[in-house]
Amino acid sequence: MRKMREMKELRKLREMRELRKMREMRELVEMRELRKLRKRREMRELGELRELRKMRKMRELVEMELRKMREMRKERELRELRELRELGELGELRAVSSAVCCHHNLFLLHSKQSREREGIAKLDKAARQHEEKTWEYPHRPVLTGALGRSREQSLSRTGNIRGGEGQKISGE
């Protein structure tokens, strides 16, 4: 009887040990899994942070490029305006036609070839780009966006046909 009891107790102890071992093993496996999951989450978060940093850097680079482009455009426009002012102030508008539209008070440019030959294409381009603005030069008539019209269109509107093919200003 005593032996039976001892056997029973031994069996219980063995079962308890086995249960404890199984529990410990399960806990170890769970801990490993948790560590793996935590590490994955941390790596994913690090990757997301890296991506965010990359995106932020790219955005900063793009903004810097845009800023440079705006500054260059502004400088170019200022340079063109200075050139236009110099042309107007020095009276070197060589390709200006002798026909002047009286009621609009505009210079008319004669032919496209002469505008290109004399370098007035820049003036024409700037005038078209800034049609809504009016450029006033001291002691000069007002120039507006009408510079883009051909000589025939302007003359047909005013009826003021004078001076054949257009005469160049002296000094050439």
Give the pLDDT confidence of 69-95 residue by residue, as tens digits.
999 999 999 898 888 877 765 555 454
pLDDT for the residue numbered 1: 78
In this predicted structure, the answer to whether residue 99 has a pLDDT above a threshold of 50 is no
| Amino acid at site 50 | R
Report if residue 126 sits inside a domain: yes
Give the pLDDT band (50/70/90) at residue 28: very high
Mean pLDDT, the chain, as a whole number? 72
In this predicted structure, the answer to whether residue 118 has a pLDDT above a threshold of 90 is no
Report if residue 6 sits inside a domain: no
Report if residue 105 sits inside a domain: yes
Q: Which of 13-27, 39-53, 67-81, 130-144 shows the lowest mean pLDDT across its residues?
A: 130-144
**Mean pLDDT value across residues 142-156:** 51
**Mean pLDDT value across residues 151-166:** 52
- Residue 117 neighbours by CB distance under 10 Å: 12
- Share above pLDDT 90 across residues of the chain, in percent, rounded to a whole number: 39
pLDDT for the residue numbered 30: 96
Q: Which of 61-65, 109-113, 142-146 has the highest mean pLDDT?
A: 61-65
Domain interval for residue 101? 91-158
Comparing 105 with 30, the larger pLDDT belongs to 30
Q: In the numeric block, which tokens belong to residue 25? A: 């093993």
Closest-CA residue to 101 (of 139, 138, 156): 156
pLDDT for the residue numbered 85: 77
In this predicted structure, the answer to whether residue 149 has a pLDDT above a threshold of 90 is no
Report if residue 123 sits inside a domain: yes
C-alpha distance across the termini of the chain, in Å: 138
Split into its structural domains, the chain has a count of: 1
The distance from CA 74 to its chain's CA centroid, rounded to whole angstroms, is 13
Comparing 3 with 65, the larger pLDDT belongs to 65
Report if residue 78 sits inside a domain: no
Report if residue 149 sits inside a domain: yes
Report if residue 128 sits inside a domain: yes
In this predicted structure, the answer to whether residue 45 has a pLDDT above a threshold of 60 is yes
Q: What's the CA gap between 108 and 100, in Å, rounded? A: 6
Report if residue 119 sits inside a domain: yes
- Residue 102 neighbours by CB distance under 10 Å: 9
